[in-house]
Structure 1
């Protein structure tokens, strides 16, 4: 069974308020997207949360506030696709 990120695959969107100013934050995408043109298709354990079985359980997204510039990394649970 193949697993994937529901946000990256357009099945859901992130809706978070900034912890500093309470504005709605913007999803900058998976951190994989910042590594180069082919990085979304490669595995980078540095940017994934892996459980004890080696399963990549979360996709890490960069979420930022357009108002104050605050940014956070958010782990999105991967689901069966």
Structure 2
């Protein structure tokens, strides 16, 4: 069995209201995709080591569609 992120794999969607304006926040993907131009292509095991991330969570960046505020959320990985 493998631990995977349900958002990265399209198994779940997360409705997340903006704490600023209460607009809808959109999932922009895992935070490691924003480190540099090539980080999105690296293996997850490598990017997790870069920021000492907990392997049980996948940190996603959410951004408000209205005001542009962003926030990070830790998403529980699930066994599959």
Q: TM-score, normalised by structure 1?
A: 0.81
* Map 1:1-81 → 2, pairs under 5 A: 1-35=1-35, 36=38, 37-39=40-42, 41-43=43-45, 44-45=48-49, 46=51, 48=53, 50=54, 56-81=55-80
Structure 1 unaligned segments of length 5 or more: list them: 51-55
Tell me how many residue pairs correspond in the alignment.
Answer: 74
Structure 2 unaligned segments of length 5 or more: list them: none
CA contact (8 A) 1:32 1:47 kept: no
Tell me which stretches of 4 or more aligned residues in structure 1 moved more than 2 Å. 42-45
More helix by share: 2
Q: TM-score, normalised by structure 2?
A: 0.82
